[in-house]
Amino acid sequence: MSDFLRYTLRLIILILVQVFVLYQIPPLHQYFSPVLYYIFILWLPFSISRTNLLIVSFLTGLSLDVFTKTPGMHAAACVLIGYIRPFIINILMPQRGAEFNYKEPSAMALGFVPYLTYVVSLTLFHHGVLFTIQAFQFGNIGYLFFKTTGTTLISLFLLFVVEITFNRKQKFITNT
């Protein structure tokens, strides 16, 4: 399967799951609403250029937005994590060259703790922006803080489940 096809399929599945499963769950609590689709951006390959990364992030957010009828809300959050993703990868990269050996960021490519840092920081940024935009009209700092934290925890749990359920092929590109 070509890469383009695989990523497109992944995007479609994640958006459909987000719209028809995760956003359909009756809220357990006002602070917890599961959000998962943005792992598409976390799992984009190392080799993608920064401009393309921004375009892809924008389209990811926008395609979810047409379903939730909030054009621009998820897109804004996605573009932000698309922008800071390369910086965080640069900081966390264990040694020069991992991006040549591995295709996508993963626990194997970065090491467990750096990968966790990568995921947690981008998740916090994404949810922070998302809920700030949502909260513009009730502007309650405590609510915003707890909602971001609560949803981050739920998202991390879901991400953990997804990571151990779907084994992404960690293909070596070269044999260094």
| Helices 3-17/50-68 angle, 10° precision | 30
- Contact stretch for other proteins (CB under 8 A) within 3-11, 39-47, 80-88, 114-122: 80-88
Cα dihedral angle (110, 113, 116, 122), rounded to 10 degrees? -70
- What is the number of other CB atoms lying within 10 angstroms of the CB of residue 58? 17
Based on CB atoms, which residue is closest to other proteins, 64 or 92? 64
Q: Which residues pair with 32 in a beta bridge?
A: 29
Alpha-helical regions (H) of 18-140:
39-42, 50-68, 73-92, 98-101, 107-110, 112-135
Based on CB atoms, which residue is closest to other proteins, 116 or 144? 144
Q: Is the dihedral of CA 43, 28, 148, 79 positive or negative?
A: positive
- Contact stretch for other proteins (CB under 8 A) within 23-31, 113-121, 158-166, 168-176: 23-31
Interface with other proteins, residue 79, by CB under 8 A? yes
> Quick check: helix, strand or coil at residue 29?
strand
Interface with other proteins, residue 138, by CB under 8 A? yes
- Contact stretch for other proteins (CB under 8 A) within 67-75, 94-102, 103-111, 163-171: 67-75
User: Could you tell me if 122 and 88 are in contact, meaning their C-beta atoms sit under 8 angstroms apart?
Assistant: yes
Based on CB atoms, which residue is closest to other proteins, 49 or 174? 49
Single residue of 7, 43, 46, 83 touching other proteins by CB under 8 A: 83
Single residue of 48, 135, 144, 159 touching other proteins by CB under 8 A: 135
- Contact stretch for other proteins (CB under 8 A) within 39-47, 78-86, 114-122, 155-163: 78-86
